């Protein structure tokens, strides 16, 4: 991307930007350290301490409005349609443990799709602390009994599903393995499959998966309708849970129809409460942006929204 001088804003001080697309997180970090690239957007958390120790690099930390979660596809795996099963799954996962160990304390546990950085966020929602005993009790109540191998079954069908996620992303792979291990401990058989980003996008859009570990990033003005309204399943939207709740759909469309922020906040708070209670997906953690840039770069300012890091690129300069 080359500099283009206009009269609307001060002209950019950097003449040219060259973009490289590197799917593997280790490759990104190695090229940054070797000087092959100068900026890494969304630097991997497992490399934070390594990068922060390099004097020529600054790792900017920006609380974001994105969140990592497990999408539960009710269309392909009918047991997910039972809220007791969904509540059991989230109760079986030590999400605080993930934040403390796998994420090195860099990201807090998320309780829903809207994050604390947003004006629409509320913490007055149902919480699900790590409780394997509660998870087992809920699965018992739902009729899923342990078999000889410890995996639960009902009506001759095992409680077994596939969890897909992106290959080449070390932290995501570690979390997928932790999810697999902890769900097995309560009698749920999970098979983890890794796919490249292009294949993953096609799979989620077509709904060809049981569960998926991935992230969503909301716009600065939080709009949940495309993710949770009953009529927004693909291709009309991104409700890839295929979850349907008419109360929630009504609240979301009502929030879209008003420009009164106080009313929108009230409507979105009620929507968040329903999402937390019904658990159509399993929120894992709120994504703190880590962007690695040269220490010599002036005027870099992290951005928590889906606008990305280049929102003020015209102000960047090298000292």
| pLDDT, position 36 | 93
By the 8 A CB rule, do 37 and 20 touch?
yes
Task: State residue 31's pLDDT score.
Answer: 93
Give the Cα separation of 60 and 53 in Å (integer): 13
- pLDDT at residue 5, rounded to an integer: 52
Token pair of 174 as six digits? 């570690």
208's CB contacts (< 8 A; 6+ apart) are 76
Cα gap 247→230, rounded to integer Å: 10
Q: What is the reported pTM? A: 0.88
For 122, half-sphere exposure in the C-beta direction (CA atoms, 13 angstrom radius) is 17
The dihedral region occupied by 258, where left means phi > 0, alpha psi between -120 and 50, and beta the remainder, is beta
| Residue-level pLDDT at 2 | 56
- The whole-number pLDDT of residue 23 equals 81
**Tokens describing residue 176:** 């997928």
Helices then strands, each counted (H, E), the chain: 10, 10
Q: What pLDDT does 1 receive?
A: 53
List, in order of start, the domains of the chain with CATH numbers: 25-63+289-318 (3.40.190.10), 65-287 (3.10.105.10)
The per-residue pLDDT for 7 is 52
Contact 96, 109 (CB under 8 A): yes
Give me the tens of pLDDT residue by residue for the chain, a chain 319 residues long: 555 555 555 678 888 889 998 888 889 999 999 989 999 988 888 889 999 999 999 999 999 889 999 999 999 999 999 999 999 999 999 999 999 999 999 999 999 999 999 999 999 999 999 999 999 999 999 999 999 999 999 999 999 999 999 998 889 999 999 999 999 999 999 999 999 888 888 898 889 999 999 999 888 888 999 999 999 999 999 999 999 999 999 999 999 999 999 999 999 999 999 999 999 999 999 999 899 999 999 999 988 877 788 889 999 998 8
Map residue 72 onto helix, strand or coil: strand
Q: Which residues pair with 294 in a beta bridge?
A: 57
| pLDDT at 165 (0 to 100) | 96
**Two tokens at 316?**
């960047």
């Amino acid at each position: 991307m080359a500099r283009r001088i206009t009269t609307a804003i001060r002209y950019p001080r950097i003449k040219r930007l060259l973009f490289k697309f590197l799917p593997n997180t280790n490759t990104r970090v190695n090229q940054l350290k070797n000087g092959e690239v100068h900026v890494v957007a969304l630097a991997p958390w497992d490399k934070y301490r390594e990068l922060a120790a390099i004097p020529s690099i600054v790792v900017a930390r920006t609380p974001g409005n994105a969140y990592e979660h497990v999408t539960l596809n009710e269309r392909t795996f009918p047991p997910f349609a039972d809220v007791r099963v969904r509540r059991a799954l989230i109760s079986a996962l030590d999400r605080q443990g993930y934040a403390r160990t796998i994420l090195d304390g860099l990201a807090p546990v998320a309780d829903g799709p809207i994050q604390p950085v947003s004006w629409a966020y509320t913490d007055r929602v149902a919480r699900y602390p790590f409780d394997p005993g509660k998870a087992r009790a809920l699965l018992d109540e739902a009729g899923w009994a342990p078999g000889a191998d410890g995996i639960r079954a009902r009506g001759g069908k095992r409680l077994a599903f596939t969890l897909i996620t992106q290959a080449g992303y070390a932290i995501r792979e570690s979390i997928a393995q932790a999810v697999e291990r902890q769900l097995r401990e309560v009698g749920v058989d999970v098979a983890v499959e890794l796919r490249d980003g292009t294949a993953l996008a096609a799979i989620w859009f077509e709904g060809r998966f049981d569960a998926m570990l991935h992230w969503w990033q909301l716009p600065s003005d939080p709009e949940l309708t495309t993710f949770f309204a009953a009529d927004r399943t693909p291709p009309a939207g991104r409700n890839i849970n295929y979850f349907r709740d008419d109360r929630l759909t009504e609240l979301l469309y009502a929030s879209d129809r008003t420009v009164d922020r106080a009313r929108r906040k009230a409507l979105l708070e009620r929507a968040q409460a329903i999402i937390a209670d019904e658990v159509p997906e399993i929120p894992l953690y709120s994504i703190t942006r880590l962007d690695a840039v040269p220490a010599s770069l002036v005027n870099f300012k992290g951005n928590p929204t889906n606008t990305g890091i280049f929102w003020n690129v015209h102000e960047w300069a090298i000292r």
